[in-house]
Structure 1
Amino acid sequence: MKISITALTKAFMVTAFSSAILMTTAYANNPPPTIKADAPNRYIVKKGDTLWDISGRYLDSPWRWTEIWATNKQIKNPNLIYPDDILILCVIQGKTLIGVDTGEGCAGVERQLTGDVVATAVAVTSTVNSIPAIPRSAIGHWLDKTLIVNPADFNTTPYILASKKGNLVTASGDKVYAKGVPLIVGQRYGVYREGQQYVDPKSQRVIGLEVTQVATGMVTSVASNGVSSLELTDSYDKEVREGDRVFVELNNSIPPVFYPEPATVNRGGMIVRVMDSISSAAKGSVVAINLGRTQGAKPGDVLTIYKQGALVRDTIDNDMPVRLPNEPSGMLMVFNTFSDISYAYILSSDLPLNVGDKLLPPPYL
């Protein structure tokens, strides 16, 4: 009566790996993406729209947006869309495409697409105020000051020993002291708080440690015993505490603009944490997944979420337990990647989503 979890996991991983390997071939042989029957011929972009919202207005498979988007060859950032842009649906050279109306209708979109326009130089457009792929307000906390680092490296860094005021609550302008490897006078450092440790569900290997930057400080002096003095220059809504770690500020390099596309990861994955201390995720939630840069994940990657099928009893076969097939229950988009972990935003969900739900790239059909 005992179901083999190992066997189920192996079967899933083989399927995931095969899907990833065949991705390029499937794409090359696939028909064009399906335009929705009720797709608007003309749509005025509004403030608050996201690229995923707009993609979903036109396509049954929103992650295939770039395949129908008519890019302007005279613009360095051709995929940017802004509030008040007028999007029009056109058939150009036998293909249904979406472009920005510059006043000439589909004829103007075709000229921009084919390069038949007069231009003395390639125009560079700003990403400021452009339409994001997903709401920035929902992911801001996980973009700015939260990182995943190697726990072994983190534990070797200097730590806050005390503050000049003798208390734990410190703010900009306060002085704190760090013990450990002497820091460099005049150098700017970040102060980081230890957070959740991530363990891969399959290998049980520690794959990352979440840390949050709570302050920034400048080293003013180093004593003969190696204790470094730092003057805090910035704090980020949290107090500095004894035991917080000090090291050079890490660059959390997120592209200013990214676009939804099917993930090309080298294996399947799963949700390993629902952020903000809630038990289940839904549309608009942020989750951590066990796919990172090592597995080929990148910002903009879209993955389908599969909930494990229910365990039912077969009343015809002596009440033997039978696991029903996994079913697609939602989609997510990666927005921040680290070595073996990524943060992702839930784009859609039919059911509450939980830790352990499986992930695969979406099908092209």
Structure 2
Amino acid sequence: MKLSLNAMTKGLFITALSSVMLITTAYANNPEPTIKADAPNRYIVEKGDTLWDISGRYLDSPWRWKEIWATNKQIKNPNLIYPNDVLILCVIQGKTLVGVDTGEGCAGVEKQLTGSTVASAVTVTSVANSIPPIPMSAIQHWLDKTLIVNPEDFNTTPYVLASKKRNLITASGDKVYTKGVPLIVGQRYGVYREGEKYVEPRTQKVIGLEVTQVATGLVTSVETNGVSSLQLLDSYGKEVREGDRVFVELDDSIPPVFYPKPATVSRGGMIVRVMDSINSAARGSVVAINLGSMQGAKPGDVLTAYQKGPLVRDTMDSDMPVRLPSEPAGMVMVFNTFDDISYAYVLSSELPLSIGDQLLPPPYL
């Protein structure tokens, strides 16, 4: 997703592209995924399950779940799963697949898969109660009010100058005054707090600025000296302060449903921040990575995190230090993308993940 404030104010381990192409070629020539030996023949989906967890019951490579999923051609959203659905393991036309049991067992799954069932119309299913790919509660904060924008654009937006009550802290129901580019009377605007800057490790260039929306307001008047009056309508857990920036609320659009899949990015990346932590990330944590929409990252992309191998002494060669190879340490899934940065959820971690850990599409095993 690209976020440009220009429009709003007016109304180590880098992999060459050839490496990614080699990975893509390997995907095309790869054999079918292997079903786990202990995969359940019958599984009842429970509330609180995630698509990733269910996929992991059947595959060692859960990102390949679509290759074993028997989609129902009579359903508009054939990949949705709901609590109390009964998943069964079937061999259909020589392939081992997982499908939803409609009461006819594997024969019914085969009918759905081949489209031989008689239906007067395609059934439309609701996304609302479906099983999410990952726990939505873990990422909701990073979906609702937190964005990454261009810092140069951010610094050109109007700022909160003062409040009507002349207090330093204001909240919902108060009036504040902004200075800068005149706002539009009757227009809703967001009030945003400056957060952390993101730096590209290779170049040390600032590639993004994290901002958090703290309030929404309605413009009631605009003066000729560039001062606009903003009546605060809602606040989001934080007070409005002098210096906060004001611009049109950005539509941080996330697809209603996204599915884990191997990333097809133009280069490798790395973890550049562990959110809400200063040290390391474990399963269930959120991290920021230096791959965004400009590098081809999309919601649902799965990447393997690698940790740099330790230095050891070669006692057979005059105690020379030797760096051991990087080893896979966990997996992350992108859920929100910006130009050069994305937020990702830690799906698994054999070792605690840290800033600087390298990221590549998962090996297609």
Where does residue 296 of structure 1 map in the other structure? 296
Mapped partners of 1:329, 1:108: distance in 2:
40
Return the letter of the residue paired with 1:355.
I
Where does residue 117 of structure 1 map in the other structure? 117
Where does residue 235 of structure 2 map in the other structure? 235
- What SS is found at the alignment partner of 2:353? coil
- What SS is found at the alignment partner of 2:240? coil
How many residues matched?
354
Where does residue 244 of structure 1 map in the other structure? 244
Mapped partners of 2:108, 2:277: distance in 1:
50
Mapped partners of 2:217, 2:309: distance in 1:
51
Mapped partners of 2:295, 2:361: distance in 1:
13
Mapped partners of 2:314, 2:73: distance in 1:
60
Where does residue 194 of structure 1 map in the other structure? 194
Where does residue 150 of structure 1 map in the other structure? 150
**Conservation of the 8 A alpha-carbon contact between 1:23 and 1:264:** no
Where does residue 277 of structure 2 map in the other structure? 277
How far did 1:122 drift? 1.6
**Conservation of the 8 A alpha-carbon contact between 1:336 and 1:342:** yes
Mapped partners of 1:243, 1:118: distance in 2:
63
- What SS is found at the alignment partner of 1:106? helix
Where does residue 361 of structure 1 map in the other structure? 361
Where does residue 177 of structure 2 map in the other structure? 177
How far did 1:17 drift? 3.5
**Conservation of the 8 A alpha-carbon contact between 1:288 and 1:343:** yes
- What are structure 1's unaligned runs of at least 5 residues? 1-8
Where does residue 4 of structure 1 map in the other structure? none
Where does residue 19 of structure 1 map in the other structure? 19
Where does residue 224 of structure 2 map in the other structure? 224
Segments ≥4 residues shifted beyond 6 Å = none
- TM-score, length of structure 1 as denominator length: 0.95
Where does residue 3 of structure 2 map in the other structure? none
Mapped partners of 2:30, 2:138: distance in 1:
34
Partner deviation per Cα, 1:58-116 (whole Å, 9 max, x = no partner): 00100000111111111111100010111111111111111111111111111111111
Mapped partners of 2:354, 2:194: distance in 1:
24
How far did 1:263 drift? 0.4
- TM-score, length of structure 2 as denominator length: 0.95
Mapped partners of 1:110, 1:27: distance in 2:
26
Where does residue 35 of structure 1 map in the other structure? 35
Residue identity over aligned pairs, in percent, reads 82
- What SS is found at the alignment partner of 1:332? strand
Mapped partners of 2:70, 2:19: distance in 1:
29
Mapped partners of 2:99, 2:149: distance in 1:
41
Where does residue 161 of structure 1 map in the other structure? 161
- What SS is found at the alignment partner of 1:52? helix
Output aligned runs, 1:44-63, within 5 Å. Answer: 44-63=44-63
Where does residue 66 of structure 1 map in the other structure? 66
Return the letter of the residue paired with 2:230.
L
Where does residue 91 of structure 1 map in the other structure? 91
**Conservation of the 8 A alpha-carbon contact between 1:168 and 1:239:** no
Higher relative contact order (CA 8 A, sep 6+): 2
- What SS is found at the alignment partner of 1:48? coil
- Is residue 2:315 matched to residue 1:315? yes
Mapped partners of 1:175, 1:190: distance in 2:
14
How far did 1:13 drift? 2.8
- What are structure 2's unaligned runs of at least 5 residues? 1-11
Partner deviation per Cα, 1:229-254 (whole Å, 9 max, x = no partner): 01111110000000000000001111
How far did 1:320 drift? 1.4
Mapped partners of 1:252, 1:72: distance in 2:
31
**Conservation of the 8 A alpha-carbon contact between 1:147 and 1:252:** yes
